[in-house]
Amino acid sequence: MTKTIIQTEKDFKELMQKMSSYEQALGLLQWDARTKAPKKGADQRSEVIGSLSTELFKLKTSEETGRLLEEILQADKDVVSNVTRQSAKELKKEYDRSIKIPEDEFREYSILTAKSESIWEEAKEQNDFEMFRPYLEKIVQFSRKFADYWGYEGHPYNALLEDFEPGMTVDTLDQVFSRLRDGLIPLVEGVTSSSNKPQTDFIFRSFPKDNQKQFSSEILSQMTYDFEAGRLDETVHPFAIGLNPKDVRVTTKYDENDFRTAVFGTIHEGGHALYEQNLPEELAGTVLSDGTSMGIHESQSLFWENFVGRNKKFWENNYDLLQSYSNGQFKDVNLDQFYHAINEAKPSLIRIEADEMTYSLHIILRYEIEKGLINGDIEVADLPKVWNEKMEEYLGVIPPNDSQGVLQDVHWSFGAFGYFPSYALGYIYAAQLHQAMRKEIPEFDQLCQKGELSSIREWLTKNVHQYGRMKSPAAIIKDATGESINPEHLLHYLSEKYKPLYQF
């Protein structure tokens, strides 16, 4: 029996390594498609992505995979390693969901989403929602169908949430987001009515792209990002992708008339990358070598972007460096003026450019729209109108066109329904982690001031990174902070920061 299990474990590890090889190849194709790939190759590339995705799907749903999972999960605990057993548990969840989807439908869906991403990019450039609409309608139909295949309790959106934030439900999100929204509204009103507005004209002066890249690279190095295990590239919609812990890539978007887009975008994606680069070697090649959820992943990017990158002490260390790369746009701007400007809070149109105060309202808006799309209360044809109405209701602004409205995000083009809540969850988690870290590292601000960020990264590795998917999102937060999800820490942080800044 023991000999059989030893062979089973060996076969299972080889199976996971093969799956990992497919995933890395697909990841490389997706990175290439979003960075350097020629547009005319989109259709053929989509077919290749569809073929590889289908082969991976076959592998994950094969009878052999089912047999190996059953044998490992039935084996005595002292016979197989903890990593193998936990890997089998995670893969079994995916297996049970995947076998419910017909193979031909999965292939069709994979090709559709590969094509639709390039169509979305073109539609956004041309401000043409109708160009993207038929693709999105098919993706929504698939998402509704997949939710029915998988099964769910309560709201059908729960089935989609499981892919991104295991264990999270609409009931919990409604409660947490309601508390967050109710706490944010008076803060936004206070900032909006304040007469102590920052001067920001210097933000929008020309800052050469190459100089922005050099500065961004220096900040990534300061964050302890390993360039020998990664790279920084340009894209339309910033992202980080981990092919494996030794190859984790960051992308950013440069705007020569607003340096913040690249700088804070790079820090944000760098936070994602640090998570991937610091996953333990023992998990490499297994299904556990990944972030435990998108919410926890976002907690890392938002922690670095906001709690470090927008910290005044961080800029006490880096403002001179920024000035050295700029075109002289900050020569008459002191640090206090600069700090207030980069922490300007006001309702805005674009999520990725939103300030800390209003960011979560952008997410809550998308969450409510997604729920409506999945349960049939909202149809794709109505999206521009619904989007604009909610923007006016929550943020008091109306997009002048669909490129700055319903077409601004890439997520729906590749079928990521259930993803958006992770951004607000990640922000809540980040605030909780920040609070817990300051108790253990009271010199947090001083480390930011000195540019000595390795201790901060090491705390995150100890409490988050090192577990990969060995721990659930809820367990990560509970063990690191001593409590379950709690939006009050984020509201406290925003209140403590912005009331003095805006004097209200």
List, as residue ranges, the binding site for Zn(2+). Answer: 268, 272, 298
> What is residue 243's three-state secondary structure?
strand
In angstroms, the CA 326 to CA 208 distance is: 7
> What is residue 133's three-state secondary structure?
helix
Pick the catalytic residue from 117, 162, 269, 276: 269
DSSP 350: -
In angstroms, the CA 295 to CA 152 distance is: 20
In angstroms, the CA 88 to CA 68 distance is: 9
The alpha-helical segments, DSSP class H, found in 127-259 are: 129-150, 157-161, 170-193, 209-222
- How many angstroms separate the most distant Cα atoms in the chain? 76
Of residues 249, 258, 250, 251, the one with CA closest to residue 209? 258
- Return the CA Rg of the chain: 23
Backbone angles phi, psi at 83, to 5 degrees: -65, -45
Q: Is 47 a catalytic residue?
A: no
In angstroms, the CA 119 to CA 127 distance is: 12
Whether residue 194 contacts residue 504, with contact meaning beta carbons closer than 8 Å, is answered with: yes
In angstroms, the CA 116 to CA 411 distance is: 11
The label of the residue with tokens 């990640």 reads: 426
Provide the β-strand partners of residue 249: 231, 241
Backbone angles phi, psi at 164, to 5 degrees: -115, -35
Q: First vs last Cα of the chain: how many Å apart?
A: 71
Residues carrying an active site annotation:
269
